[in-house]
Chain A
Amino acid sequence: MGLSVVVGCSLAYISLLFLIAWWVDKRATELRPGIVSSPYVYALSLAVYCTAWTFFGSVGRATTGGLSFLGVYLGPTLLAPLWFMLLRKIILISKNQRITSIADFISARYGKSTNIGVMVTLIAVLGIVPYISIQLKAVTFGINTLTHFGEAAPAPKPHFWQDAAFWVTLAMALFTVVFGTRKLDPNERHEGLVAAIAFESIVKLIAFIMVGAFVTFGLYNGFDDLFGKALQQEETARMFTFSGSGITPFSWNMLMLLSLFAIILLPRQFHISVVENTHPRQITKAMWVFPLYLLLINIFVLPVAMAGKMAFGDTVHPDTYVLSIPLSQGANWLALIAFIGGFSAATSMVVVEATALSIMFSNHVVVPLLIKTRLFGQGKDMVDGASRLLDIRRICIMLMLFLAYLYQKSVGSTYDLVSVGLISFTAAAQLAPSLIGGIYWKRGTRQGAITGLAIGFLFWAYCLPLPSMAQAGIISDDFVKNGLFGLSFLKPYSLFGLSGLDPITHAAFWSLLFNAWFYSIVSINSKPSMLNLTQADLFVNIGKYIGRQDSDILKREAKVSELRNMLNRFLGEQRTIAMFQEYESLNQVKLGQQQLAQADLVNFAETHLAGAVGAASARLVLDSVVKEEAITMDEVMRILEQTREAVEHGRLMEAKNAELKKLTLQLTTANDQLKNLDRLKADFITTVTHELRTPVTSIKSLSKIILDYSDELDDHRKQEYLRILVMESDRISRLINQVLDIEKIQSNEAPLNFETVNLSDLVRQAARGMEQMFAEKQVTIRLHGTDKSNNLRADRDRLMQVIVNLLSNALKFCNPEDGQIDVELEQASDKMLLRVRDNGPGIPPTMQQLIFEKFTQLHSQTQGKPHGTGLGLFITKSIVEKHGGSIRVESYSVAVPQGAMFEVRLPL
Chain B
Amino acid sequence: MADDRSARLLLTFCLFLLLLNYPLLTIVDKTELWFGFPALYFYMFLVWGVMIFVIAQIVKQRKKKP
Contacts and interface: CB of A to CB of B under 8 A. Distances in A.
B52 A237 contact: no
A80 B12 CA distance: 10
A77 B48 CA distance: 8
B10, B53, B56 pick with most chain A CB within 10 angstroms: B56
A500 interface: no
B31 to A, nearest CB: 5
A295 B40 contact: no
Contacts of A785: none
Contact of A241 (B5, B16, B29): B29
A231 B33 CA distance: 8
A80 B52 CA distance: 9
Interface string B17-61: 100111101000111110011111100110011011101101100
A243 B31 CA distance: 10
Contacts of B23: 249
B42 to A, nearest CB: 10
Interface residues of B, number: 36
A253 B22 CA distance: 8
Interface string A214-254: 00000000111001101100000101111110000100110
B48 to A, nearest CB: 5
A74 B48 contact: yes
A253 B20 CA distance: 9
Given A78-B17, A84-B9, A291 B36 contact: no
A291 B58 CA distance: 15
A285 B49 CA distance: 16
A81 B48 contact: no
A230 B37 CA distance: 11
A85 interface: yes
B48 A291 contact: yes
Contact of B48 (A239, A243, A253, A295): A295
A256 interface: yes
Contacts of B25: 242, 249, 252
A158 B47 CA distance: 51
A278 interface: no
A82 B21 contact: no
Contacts of B55: 80-81, 287-288, 291
B9 A85 contact: yes
A705 interface: no
A262 interface: no
A138 interface: no
Nearest to B20: A74
Contact of B21 (A70, A227, A240, A252): A252
A67 interface: yes
B29 A243 contact: yes
Contacts of A291: 48, 51-52, 55
A292 interface: yes
A228 B38 contact: no
A66, A78, A256, A302 pick with most chain B CB within 10 angstroms: A78
A419 interface: no
B31 A244 contact: yes
Contacts of B48: 74, 77, 291, 295
B31 A292 contact: no
A240 B6 contact: no
B6 A223 contact: no
A299 interface: yes
Contacts of A292: 52
A837 to B, nearest CB: 85
A37 interface: no
A738 interface: no
Interface string A63-75: 0001100100010
Given A240-B31, A241-B31, A252-B22, A227 B44 contact: no
A862 B9 CA distance: 103
Contacts of B39: 240-241
B20 A256 contact: yes
Contacts of B38: 67, 227, 230-231, 239-241, 302
Given A223-B37, A253-B21, A288 B30 contact: no
A284 interface: yes
Nearest to B55: A288
A178 to B, nearest CB: 37
B6 to A, nearest CB: 6
Contacts of A256: 20-21
Interface string A549-561: 0000000000000
A79 B13 CA distance: 7
Contacts of B62: 284
A244 B41 CA distance: 14
Contacts of A284: 59, 62
Contacts of A287: 55-56, 59
Contact of A67 (B13, B30, B41): B41
A288 B31 contact: no
A74 B44 contact: yes
Contacts of B53: 288
A242 B13 contact: no
A82 B37 contact: no
A228 B59 contact: no
B41 A302 contact: yes
A558 to B, nearest CB: 41
Contacts of A77: 16, 48, 51-52
B26 to A, nearest CB: 8
B66 to A, nearest CB: 14
A81 B52 contact: no
A240 B32 CA distance: 8
Contacts of A79: 13
Nearest to A247: B29
A291 B52 CA distance: 7
Nearest to A295: B48
B12, B20, B22, B23 pick with most chain A CB within 10 angstroms: B20
Nearest to A84: B9
A295 B22 contact: no
A74 B25 CA distance: 14
A78 B33 contact: no
Contacts of A81: 9-10, 12-13, 55, 58
B40 A241 contact: yes
A617 B5 CA distance: 39
A296 to B, nearest CB: 10
A238 to B, nearest CB: 8
B60 to A, nearest CB: 9
B52 A288 contact: yes
Contacts of A231: 31, 33, 38
Given A74-B20, A227-B33, A295 B9 contact: no
Contacts of A84: 5-6, 9, 59
Nearest to A85: B6
Contact of B22 (A78, A222, A249): A249
Contacts of B30: 240-241
Contacts of B33: 227-228, 231
21 contacts: A74-B44, A77-B51, A80-B55, A81-B9, A82-B13, A85-B6, A85-B9, A223-B36, A227-B38, A231-B33, A237-B31, A240-B31, A240-B32, A240-B40, A242-B40, A252-B22, A253-B21, A256-B21, A288-B53, A288-B55, A295-B48
Interface of B: 5-6, 9-10, 12-13, 16-17, 20-23, 25, 29-33, 36-41, 44-45, 48-49, 51-53, 55-56, 58-59, 62
Interface of A: 66-67, 70, 74, 77-82, 84-85, 222-224, 227-228, 230-231, 237, 239-244, 249, 252-253, 256, 284-285, 287-288, 291-292, 295, 299, 302
Closest 6 CB pairs of A and B: A224-B36, A249-B22, A81-B9, A288-B56, A240-B38, A288-B55
